[in-house]
Amino acid sequence: MNAEFFAFGEILWDCLPSGRHAGGAPFNVTAHLAQIGVSASLISCIGRDALGDEILKVAQDKEVNTEFVTRARIGLGTGTVLVTVDANGNATYELVQPAAWDEIRVSAEALEAVSKARALIYGSLAGRSPYNLDQLDRLLSVKGPLKFFDVNLRPPFADAPLVVQLAKRADVLKLNDGEVGQLTSWLRTGEMKHETPRNAAAITSACAIIAEATNVSRICVTLAEEGAALWERGKLVTAPAPKIVVKDTVGAGDAFMAGLMVGLTRGTDTRKVLENACRLGAFVASHHGATPLLPPEIIAEFTNA
């Protein structure tokens, strides 16, 4: 059976103070999609090593379709990331390079399966590799699925020209408020300054600048504890986030993305889409690790929709 949702990009081990957790934004998204009751398939690459064996089993246990997760050539190990969490639960990342996910092979069978899917998500981080960019170009040429682009401006892989280039291939763009500020700053001045829009007017203006440069019609902006906003052709819809005690923010944005993808592909009311996605993200932020088990009441928001 073909999966409804596909993700292209990294699967790796997040090495946190609380222990080692399977991660990588595309993997996290598929794991959450599977939890909320939709079929999800990952297109990625792991090493020919024990860490690869282990992470593949984790993915399969989480009911992620791993048919298109390949094994890397000798010398490329399964990806790892050193994660540091500050007193507020915010994470910083040190990505080991090169890694198996720098050479993700997209087979003809994968292209055929994606053509029948409802949605495809890809991120900017996997674009650090020219090999992946060539493979992603083939994927994005496939007609059919709604294409979601998840911006990830994570130094030293914060490449604004590449982000704009990849955004031009998307139907929906998702980024956080800090990334919106950096990207609009670069589009205006050529420098990626840290400017964060914090009110509706500023977010609307920033999204309009990004949309003009990329021709994307829908831009979703996550606002941490303040919720999220969705800009569509000049109109902005917002929703608040639940109040929580943050354990760590690893994977919260990926859970949000899973909710966003399901809601938008089903044509759910925009505010309801954002509320459900915020609830997913907040739950993950209130737990350690990127893919904690979701409670039945959150799953029900999607299975009953």
SS3 state at 218 = strand
Q: Which residues of 233-247 are buried (b: 16+ CB within 10 A; e: fewer)?
A: eeebbbbebeebebb
**Are 155 and 134 a contacting pair, CB within 8 Å?**
no
Identify the DSSP state of 234.
T
Looking up residue 170, the CATH number of its domain turns out to be 3.40.1190.20
pLDDT class of 17 with cuts at 50, 70, 90? confident
84 has pLDDT over 90: no
CA distance linking residue 243 with residue 200, whole number of Å: 20
Q: Looking at residues 217-241, what average pLDDT do you find? A: 96
DSSP 65-122: EEEEEEEPPTT-PPEEEEEEE-TTS-EEEEE-SS-GGGS----HHHHHHHHTSSEEEE
SS3 state at 18 = coil
Say if residue 291 is exposed, middle or buried (CB neighbours under 10 Å; 0-12, 13-18, 19+). Answer: buried
**Residue type (1 letter), 49:** D
To the nearest whole number, what is the mean pLDDT of the chain? 94
Q: Where is pLDDT greater, at 190 or 94?
A: 190
pLDDT at 157: 77
pLDDT at 1: 58
200 has pLDDT over 90: yes
pLDDT at 116: 97
Domain containing residue 223: 5-303
Quick: pLDDT tens for 207-226.
Answer: 999 999 999 999 999 999 99
Within 8 A by CB and 6+ apart from 143, the residues are: 115
CA distance linking residue 152 with residue 104, whole number of Å: 18
pLDDT at 4: 96
- pTM of the complete model: 0.94
pLDDT class of 36 with cuts at 50, 70, 90? very high
Q: How many domains does one find in the chain? A: 1
Q: Looking at residues 80-93, what average pLDDT do you find? A: 81
Q: Looking at residues 40-52, what average pLDDT do you find? A: 98
- Can you say whether residue 224 is alpha, beta or left, with left for phi > 0 and alpha for psi between -120 and 50 degrees? left
Inter-CA distances, 193 with 158, 220, 239, Å: 12, 20, 27
pLDDT at 305: 60
6 has pLDDT over 90: yes
pLDDT at 19: 80
